[in-house]
Amino acid sequence: MVEILRLNTDTGVDELLDLIHDYWFDLDEIKYDPAAQQLKIPLSQKIQRKKSKILTKDKNKLHPKRYIMLIKKVLDVEIVDSEKVGSYDINNIAYKTDTKSIVINTGIPLKFGVNVKDFEINLFED
């Protein structure tokens, strides 16, 4: 994995959002390691199947770029999946300093909150 971006404050969230715009995550692929205090979120471009070939929006790219978003110093995670869709895109990431929580907003309703000791997010190309 190659590190693309490291954020220690929420001031770089816009740059992160620019990189992961149009990328999706599956709830089943999210891994929380309480001992390491890390939340690993694999991100990939949403794909569509057409005549047994997997194609992205760019029909010449058969293997789209994948990212791993790693949130560090995680104390706990709350995910409430009321829609039961499974795959979600990221619209916004906000940090609430008063509660030390990262809130991930998606296009499809999903409650996704991460309580952290300090703000730290790394983005890796997978």
Tell me, yes or no, whether 8 lies in a domain.
Answer: yes
DSSP state of 34: T
11: helix, strand or coil: helix
| pLDDT beyond 50 at 24 | yes
pLDDT at position 96, please?
Answer: 96
Confirm whether 52 is domain-assigned: no
Dihedral class, residue 10 (left if φ above 0, else alpha if ψ from -120 to 50, else beta): alpha
53 vs 24, higher pLDDT: 24
Residue 13 within any structural domain of the chain = yes
Question: How many domains, the chain?
Answer: 1
Host domain of residue 25: 2-46+57-125
| 82 part of a folded domain | yes
115: in domain? yes
Torsion, Cα of 33, 38, 104, 76 (10° steps): 60
**Confidence band of 62 (pLDDT split at 50, 70, 90):** low
